[in-house]
Amino acid sequence: MLTYVIRRLLLMIPTLIGMTLVLFVIMAASPGGVGASLRSAEGNMRPEQRREIEAYLKHRYGLDQPLYRQYLRWLNHVSPIGFKDVGPGWPASLPFGFKAVDLGESLQRRTSVLSLVEEALPVTLLLNVLSTPLIYVIAVTSGIYAARRRGAFMDMASGVTLIALWSLPVMCVGVLMLGYLANKDYWQSFPVGGLHDTVSDSMAFLPHWIGGHFQRGWLLDTLWHLVLPVVCLSYGGFAFLSKLMRAAMLENLAADFARTARAKGLKENVVVMRHVLRNSILPLITVGASVLPSLLGGALIVESIFSINGMGRLMIDAIFAKDQELVMSETYVIGIVSLLSLLVADLCYALADPRVSYE
């Protein structure tokens, strides 16, 4: 097991290098090149001035170096092993060894990428911590329910609903929710965006009554703001996983071991919960590995619609501004998380199914 994990971890290195290299080449080859973001940020200025500024920034961020050097410099920065103290014109005779990981500096925001990620990651994680369990709880229960009542009205109805949910684009649902559920002219039950109310700083922490008036409190206010984004983030996931769960359950319900279990006199509940469920959970684990990274980077649309400053919005802004360091380093972070979650999924396999072994 340990050898397997180490091997997988070591394999991550070339994968990450390949991934970022492809990204770097694409960005460098795009029209205007990397410097385009610097240029468009400066706008209405005298040309000599603009050139001076561009030259200053290019030098500051090492964009005046040949492309391969730019990439190697970035790679050296983000790697935990490498040359220390490498400035824009790095000589190769510097001490080599373990060093701090430096995610670089955003060209457009002129701040370290690390601080940007530090701000954005907790927000995105909060969204995921709420939506991932929701996805799985709904998917597993509705999958079991539908499979046990195969062909009944409820099965058909849930099947149609889930397919419908699965086909609805998030962009569309988000805007519709905003237009109906957060609009005073219709049913204004939810806030328009953000994570907190304007006056949330002066709220008490927990809900309570003051002079007969109910006050939401900071905690409830935050949860209330999270309802629409979390619904948007999760409906597609549980629609898909429910169908997957139902299919797996049906297959296993008809399997020999289920019949044997029934034949030896076990109650139907025990058969389903102990034998069938455990065997049917495997596909969910496989898919789960791909759900987590896509939730991390993929809250992109939802975050934009509901004005939440998470990783998705950071990424989309960076891409539009061609902010090379930010795009690269964010991809690097998301890449590491994706690869790790794939590894965790593979390990969960072994946990859920004793037949799987990595020895």
Partner 1 sequence: MENRFGVKDFVIFSLLVVMIVVGCLLMKQIDRQWDQLRSISSTLEDQSKDLRDVHDQLSRGVVVNENSGTGSASQNSPFGPNDPFDRIEASQKLSEYAKGDWLVTSLAGHVAKLTPLLSGDMYAQDIQGEILESLAVRNPDTLDWKGLLAKSWQISPDGLRITFQLRDGLHFSDGEPLTADDVVFSYSFIMNDKINCPRDRSAVERITSVTKTGPLEVVFAYKEPFFQAFDLAASIFILPKHFYSKFTPEDFNQSVGYVLGSGPYRMEDPIAWKPGKLIELVRNERYWGVRPGFNRLVYKEFGIDKARLAAFRNGEIDDFYSAAPEQYRDMLADPQLVARTQHFNYQDPLWGYRYVAWNEKRDDKPSRFADKRVRQAMTMLLDRERMVQQIELGYAVVATSPFSPAGKQCDPSIKPWPYDPDKAIQLLKDAGFAKVNDQGVRLAPDGTPFRFKLTYPSGSGNYDAMVLIIKDALAHAQIVVDPDPLEWATFTDRLENKNFEAITLGWGTGIEDDIYQMFDSSQMIAGGDDFISYKNPELDQTIEQARRTVADDQRMTLWHKAHAIIHEDQPYTFLFFPKHLRFVDARIHNVEVIKLGLNPLEEWFVPRLLQKYTQ
Instruction: By CB under 8 A, name the one of 3, 46, 68, 265 that touches partner 1.
Output: 46
Instruction: By CB under 8 A, name the one of 159, 193, 207, 283 that touches partner 1.
Output: 193
Verify binding: residue 303, partner 1, rule CB under 8 A: yes
Verify binding: residue 99, partner 1, rule CB under 8 A: no
Closest separation between CB of residue 243 and partner 1, Å? Answer: 25
Name the burial class of residue 316, with classes exposed (0-12), middle (13-18) and buried (19+) by CB atoms within 10 angstroms of its CB. Answer: middle
How far apart are alpha carbons 6 and 88 in whole angstroms?
34
Closest separation between CB of residue 17 and partner 1, Å? Answer: 27
Which residues 205-264 are close enough to bind partner 1 by CB under 8 A? 205, 218-219
215 DSSP assignment: E
Verify binding: residue 23, partner 1, rule CB under 8 A: no
In this chain, which stretch among 47-55, 63-71, 152-160, 264-272 interacts with partner 1, using CB under 8 A? 47-55
Closest separation between CB of residue 198 and partner 1, Å? Answer: 6
Name the burial class of residue 142, with classes exposed (0-12), middle (13-18) and buried (19+) by CB atoms within 10 angstroms of its CB. Answer: buried
Which residues 141-180 are close enough to bind partner 1 by CB under 8 A? 175, 178-179
CA distances from 152 to 21, 146, 155, 252 (A): 53, 8, 5, 19
How does DSSP assign 138-198, residue by residue? Answer: HHHHHHHHHHHTTTSHHHHHHHHHHHHHHHS-HHHHHHHHHHHHT-TTS---S-SSSSS-T
Is residue 58 within 8 A of residue 312, CB to CB? The reply is no
Instruction: By CB under 8 A, name the one of 7, 149, 208, 274 that touches partner 1.
Output: 274
110 DSSP assignment: -
Q: By CB under 8 A, how many residues form the interface with partner 1?
A: 63
How far apart are alpha carbons 193 and 16 in whole angstroms?
35
C-alpha count within 13 angstroms, C-beta hemisphere, residue 242: 27
How far apart are alpha carbons 16 and 22 in whole angstroms?
10
Closest separation between CB of residue 342 and partner 1, Å? Answer: 23
Instruction: By CB under 8 A, name the one of 70, 76, 108, 131 that touches partner 1.
Output: 108
Verify binding: residue 182, partner 1, rule CB under 8 A: yes
Closest separation between CB of residue 102 and partner 1, Å? Answer: 12
How far apart are alpha carbons 267 and 270 in whole angstroms?
5
Q: Which of 266, 265, 273 is nearest to 144 (CA)?
A: 273
Verify binding: residue 52, partner 1, rule CB under 8 A: yes
| Three-class secondary structure of residue 209 per DSSP | strand
Instruction: By CB under 8 A, name the one of 16, 57, 271, 315 that touches partner 1.
Output: 57
Q: Which is nearer to partner 1, 83 or 190 (CB)?
A: 190
Q: Taking CB under 8 A as the rule, which mask of x and - marks residues 304-323 in contact with partner 1? A: xxxxxx---x---x----x-
Verify binding: residue 290, partner 1, rule CB under 8 A: no
Verify binding: residue 120, partner 1, rule CB under 8 A: yes
Closest separation between CB of residue 112 and partner 1, Å? Answer: 6
How does DSSP assign 225-272, residue by residue? Answer: HHHHHHHHHHHHHHHHHHHHHHHHHHHHHTSHHHHHHHHTT--HHHII
In this chain, which stretch among 42-50, 143-151, 248-256, 329-337 interacts with partner 1, using CB under 8 A? 42-50
Note the residues at the interface with partner 1 (CB under 8 A).
30-32, 36, 39-47, 49-53, 56-57, 60, 106, 108-112, 115-116, 119-120, 123, 175, 178-179, 182-185, 188, 191-194, 196, 198-199, 201-202, 205, 218-219, 274, 303-309, 313, 317, 322
